[in-house]
Chain A
Amino acid sequence: MSFTEYFELLFNDYTLRTISLGTAILGAICGMLGSFAVLRKQSLLGDAISHAALPGIAIAFLITGTKETNVLLIGALISGLIGAFWIRGITRRTHLKSDTALGLILSIFFGFGMLLLTYIQKQPNANQAGLDKFLFGQAATLLARDVWFMATVTLVCLLVLLLFWKEFKILLFDADYAKTLGFNTKMIDTLITSFIVLAIVLGLQTVGVVLMSAMLLAPAAAARQWTNSLGIMVVLAAFFGATSGVIGTAISASQNNLSTGPVIVLVAAAFVVFSFIFSPSRGLLFRQIRFVKNRKDLQLHKTLAFMFDIAKSHENISHPHTVKILNNFHGYTRKSLSKLEDKEYIRVEGLMWAMTEKGFHFAENLYNQQVEEND
């Protein structure tokens, strides 16, 4: 199936439309909440929570015996929440740093989950097959009601976000200060963490426990590159997430044997790479270009300043001097001369140069201009 066929199908094929809508909504909610995780420097929290959700899925299956997605996800939610609050407890009550706490909870819960999964697979019960789809997710299993549920949660999340926008913002920027103003920071914090856990659990079916954190972080990290406003960042992250979902689904549907979850994550990663290189203000490319240009300008200006000092000592500023004097000046190259000549700051005749009126005035105010340009 080619790409165009996919888009034709998107409007005709019910299943594909459902899956695309599901991954788009998932990408949007993850991008939104991921912005908060990134700004709180809790990027790894999502990773720990998603891994911590695995034993919950297995235990839910062991207790109920069904593979009903909603039941399993409730199990995931509970163990994800337990993992999240244990991480907070460990960092608060022991000397361990948060990265250690995250690593501990992640590996202990995930290990326990894998243990339960292998135990379940050895059971003589035909029903057990397919639980391991939660490891890497399987978007094809998304049903219309799953998508409806996701959409509802996203909407609720959006409403809460709009309602408590001011509180979220101040907590993210300066939690202590928020506390002195009388805001219950614990409650806002719990609200954010709970929503992040909810978003992760929603994504488990599609993307799986192993790659879920990328869905949270990648769109947010990409969005941060393009804006200096929290509001725009959240909107952009939601947009990047949704787009990754749709494009990822399209690519995976148009090829055989490409599972959707990893492809979505790779598309999101492509957004990150693109943003890190090409964003105008923070991107590596433009920063490097600006850096090189600034350096060259400075070198040129310094050369001119050196020439200015020489020219100044003569009564006639346009008195010619030999090029040789410049040879020992650091930052002077052959090119500088022709560049300065192009700008009509100097005139070059043979092996002699002379300052022009224009160059003299420019050089006089050089330092001030340099400061203004950078301001």
Chain B
Amino acid sequence: MKQQKFAVTVDDLTVAYNYKPVLWDIDLAIPEGVMMAIVGPNGAGKSTLIKAILGIIDPIAGSVSIYGKPYKKQRKLVGYVPQKGSVDWDFPTTALDVVLMGTYGSLGWIKRPGKKEKKTALESLEKVGMLSFKDRQISQLSGGQQQRVFLARALAQDAAIYFMDEPFQGVDATTEIAIINILKELRKEGKTVVVVHHDLQTVPEYFDWVTFLNVKKIATGPVKEIFNDDNLTKTYGINYKVSVQK
């Protein structure tokens, strides 16, 4: 077996908001090219883990590296899809404008997006099937369409690793399938995808790697090996039974 390359490594990561730790001593290594789900009950720190990796939240202790270097030096390799509910969709702007924001990182300060950035944004909208909505005010999009716009914005970042916070929350079946197809496309291109996921039933179908999280890391590894009732019970604290499709 060839030497496995890690896209993301997390060491001893601990995060606390007040006194109670939200994440406790997390060690995690995400191999390059996997499609990984982070699962765990509400308040398990799933979103917090992503936010700490991306530097949105300052951890109490621990370190994060992206391909061996600190996040700050590797920003351009990382794309992010926040929870849809984290922004005000009544903000006066269009779908295309939101997707253009994905190019701001590579532009840096002051420089405005030009033709090249616009082309990237339009291509990203096309990939998620939203090109015809490019000039639509974002409040007039449905929940699923808003989620696709967020996905397109991350695609416009043209990253190597994608972090997504519950991209399937509140979207209809059509959008869910559209999104998962895009994620599979990304994996084919050799990119790493990390998704905070709620629906345990679809884990074996969508993902090849999984991390069980409940403040502490319970387990991480290939879905085929570790997605079992034992780990689910340890994570969710009740006797959990799901029919794992082998």
Q: Which residues of A contact B (CB under 8 A)?
A: 39, 41, 163-167, 169-170, 172-174, 176-183, 224, 227-230, 233
Contacts and interface: CB of A to CB of B under 8 A. Distances in A.
Interface stretch (B38-46, B102-110, B176-184, B188-196): B102-110
A166 B105 contact: no
B107 A166 contact: yes
15 contacts: A39-B88, A164-B110, A166-B107, A166-B110, A166-B111, A167-B104, A169-B93, A177-B82, A177-B153, A179-B54, A179-B55, A180-B78, A181-B75, A181-B104, A182-B108
B56 interface: yes
B231 interface: no
Contacts of A169: 93, 101
Contact of A227 (B51, B88, B92, B157): B92
Nearest to B72: A182
Most A Cβ at <10 Å: residue of B78, B94, B107, B109: B109
Given A166-B104, A167-B109, A174 B93 contact: no
Most A Cβ at <10 Å: residue of B91, B108, B137: B91
A176 B51 contact: yes
Interface of A is mostly: helix
Interface string B45-60: 0000001001110000
B105 A179 contact: no
Contacts of B98: 173
A177 B101 contact: yes
A41 B78 CA distance: 29
Given A166-B112, A174-B87, A176-B82, A182 B105 contact: yes
Interface of B: 51, 54-56, 72, 75, 78, 80, 82, 86-88, 91-94, 98, 101, 104-105, 107-113, 137, 139, 153, 157
Given A39-B91, A180-B105, A229-B93, 20 more contacts: A39-B92, A163-B110, A164-B110, A166-B104, A167-B104, A167-B109, A170-B104, A173-B101, A174-B87, A174-B101, A176-B56, A177-B82, A179-B54, A180-B54, A180-B75, A181-B104, A181-B157, A224-B92, A228-B94, A230-B92
Given A173-B98, A174-B82, A180-B56, A229 B92 contact: yes
Contacts of A182: 72, 75, 105, 108
A183 B82 CA distance: 16
Nearest to A224: B92
Contacts of A178: 104
Nearest to B105: A181
> Would you list the 6 A-B pairs with minimal beta carbon distance, nearest first?
A181-B105, A228-B137, A180-B54, A180-B80, A182-B75, A174-B87
A228 B55 CA distance: 32
A183 B93 contact: no
Contacts of B112: 165-166
Contact of B91 (A172, A177, A180, A183): A172
Contacts of B55: 179-180
Contacts of A165: 112
A292 B100 CA distance: 38
Nearest to A227: B92
Nearest to A228: B137
Contacts of A233: 92
B121 to A, nearest CB: 13
A173 B91 contact: yes
A228 B80 CA distance: 25
B15 to A, nearest CB: 15
Nearest to B111: A166
Contacts of B82: 174, 176-177
A155 to B, nearest CB: 18
A61 to B, nearest CB: 41
Contacts of B86: 174, 176
Contacts of B153: 177
Given A166-B112, A166-B113, A230 B101 contact: no
Contacts of A227: 92
B24 to A, nearest CB: 22
Most B Cβ at <10 Å: residue of A172, A183, A228: A228
A169 B92 CA distance: 10
A170 B105 CA distance: 11
Contacts of B111: 166
Contacts of A224: 92
Contacts of B51: 176
B110 to A, nearest CB: 6
B104 A179 contact: no
B54 A170 contact: no
A180 B80 CA distance: 8
B195 to A, nearest CB: 16
Nearest to A173: B91
Contacts of B110: 163-164, 166-167
Most A Cβ at <10 Å: residue of B87, B92, B108, B157: B92
Most B Cβ at <10 Å: residue of A165, A170, A176, A233: A176
A183 B103 CA distance: 12
Contacts of A230: 91-93
